[in-house]
Amino acid sequence: MFRCEKCNKVTEPREKLHRIPITYKDVVYQFTQKKGKNEKLITSYGKNISKEINLCEECFNEILRGQDENFQK
Q: Which residues bind Zn ion (CB under 5 A)?
A: 4, 6-7, 56, 59
Least distance (Å) from Zn ion to the CB of residue 21? 16
Least distance (Å) from Zn ion to the CB of residue 56? 4
Query: Which phi and psi angles does 5 have, rounded to 5°?
Result: -90, 5
Least distance (Å) from Zn ion to the CB of residue 39? 52
Q: Which is nearer to Zn ion, 25 or 51 (CB)?
A: 51
